[in-house]
A and B are shown apart, each in its own frame.
Chain A
Amino acid sequence: MATGGTPEAIARLVEQFNRLPGIGPKSAQRLAYHILRVGDEEAEALANAVLEVKRRIRLCSVCCYITEQDPCGYCTDDRRDQSLVCVVEQALDISAIERSGGYNGVYHVLHGVLNPMDGVGPEDLRFRELLARVQGGSVSEVIMATNPSLEGEATAMYAAKLLGPLGVRVTRLARGLPSGADLEYADDVTLLRALEGRQAV
């Protein structure tokens, strides 16, 4: 039954859009009415793309990266150093590191960071898979590439605590001033880290 004059199908679509992150009620309405206006083909393409991604994409059983084949391309690439594992918060971070062109190891995706304020504890992250991987014995170094935020740091420390007893080397990405930054705007913690990590010119 239609409510308040809006056809039910539209209301349902608005509601679904509204659930997406960053989409408020107004944007949801705009998107829904846009879909109404576009041709059948375009709408179908969108619907199929949504379905496909849910059907075909799963998590790699080794590194928890999103993949169509299990294990993923990174984990099966023998040109990569399989003993070097870079741990990231989310799958998107891998693209950022790949873009830098300076890394030739493999990855592990935690799918989040420790954030007890939002109820995310260690058991909600992919630490168990990481632990199993390191226990397997083929890993020589784990690079913690979580964000340099308080939560990211805590997650890195947690990983060090978890993996330390296994004798694997756990390292952390360096912290300091971003290129092109102004010293006068830097916060104390960043400056402190930059001083600690200074290097010979």
Chain B
Amino acid sequence: MAREARTFRAEGIVLRRRNVGEADSIFVVFGPELGKFEGVARGIRKSRSRMRGHLEPLTFSRFLLARGRTLDVFTQAETIRSFPRIGGDLERWAAASYYAQLVDRFTGEDAPHPELFELLFVALEALNDGSDPGSVSRYVEIHMLALAGFELQVDACAACSARLSPEETLLAPGAGGLVCRQCRPGAGVGRLVSVPAIKVLRYAARASLPQFTGLHIPGEVAEELQQALAGVIRYHLDRELPTARLARELSPGSNDPATPGADTL
């Protein structure tokens, strides 16, 4: 009779934390092998806790967990890779929180998804290395959609597979991507995207993240892509993620983000 081990090892990036009880927290972690899992860390909010720094959100750590009746318990934690520059920059932090929330929303528990882990990891690395948060975000959105099963069809019409003519084209999330003029009436909600934006979408689908962030995207195209992709994600998740809103508000292009409720002051 095989007896289940009392403890097990795991690795992963901490997605979020929820405080419970006096000094405990529940952590949701996304790992390359286990997928999304959660566990409780006892006494982690006390300043003497040895695990505290290793279980900060957006840290890639190695853990030892003990099987619990309802929740597994973190007993050891050690950082594999931290991303100090993300924590030191408001815009990068907001972007990284957005990716963590996207992963959280697009995945179920205990479903391993190594490619998605890889995407999150390289995205955090890129943010930490100083890449433009806007470009990293667009890349993450496009590939996150694909890995979650909502890949955008951008090379041909998503409805009839016809070739697309080089013109402003409807991006319709319900149809699964760009749709040609003929298919437009039945394609549902969407947004017209310009030719340069379509080119960027196609490039992003093929390129690696470092290649993509090396591409210079003009301001108005970047803005257009941000809105178009936000629309697609809103369509699939049924709402705008709070982190997406904050990331948008804190990006340099937006109007003075630093004044909460400025209109009422």
A residues engaging B (CB < 8 A)?
22, 114, 116-123, 125, 127-128, 131-132, 149-151, 153-154, 157-158, 161-162, 165, 178, 180-182, 185-190, 192
Contact = CB atoms under 8 A, between A and B. Distances in A.
Contacts of B265: 128, 131-132
A185 B91 CA distance: 30
Contacts of B247: 116
Nearest to A149: B56
B242 A189 contact: no
Interface in B31-67: 47-48, 50, 52-54, 56-59
12 contacts: A114-B246, A116-B241, A116-B242, A117-B97, A118-B18, A118-B242, A128-B265, A154-B94, A162-B259, A186-B53, A188-B53, A188-B82
B100 interface: yes
Contacts of A165: 258
A151 B243 CA distance: 12
B9 interface: no
B48 A22 contact: no
Dominant SS among interface residues on chain A: helix
B192 interface: no
Interface in B135-165: none
B101 to A, nearest CB: 6
B90 A158 contact: yes
B260 interface: yes
A188 B57 CA distance: 14
Dominant SS among interface residues on chain B: mixed
B48 A150 contact: no
A22 B20 contact: yes
Interface in B102-129: 104
Nearest to B47: A178
Nearest to B78: A187
Given A123-B260, A161-B90, A116 B243 contact: yes
Contacts of B260: 122-123, 125, 127-128, 131, 162
Nearest to B57: A150
A19 B165 CA distance: 58
Contacts of A150: 56-58, 87, 93
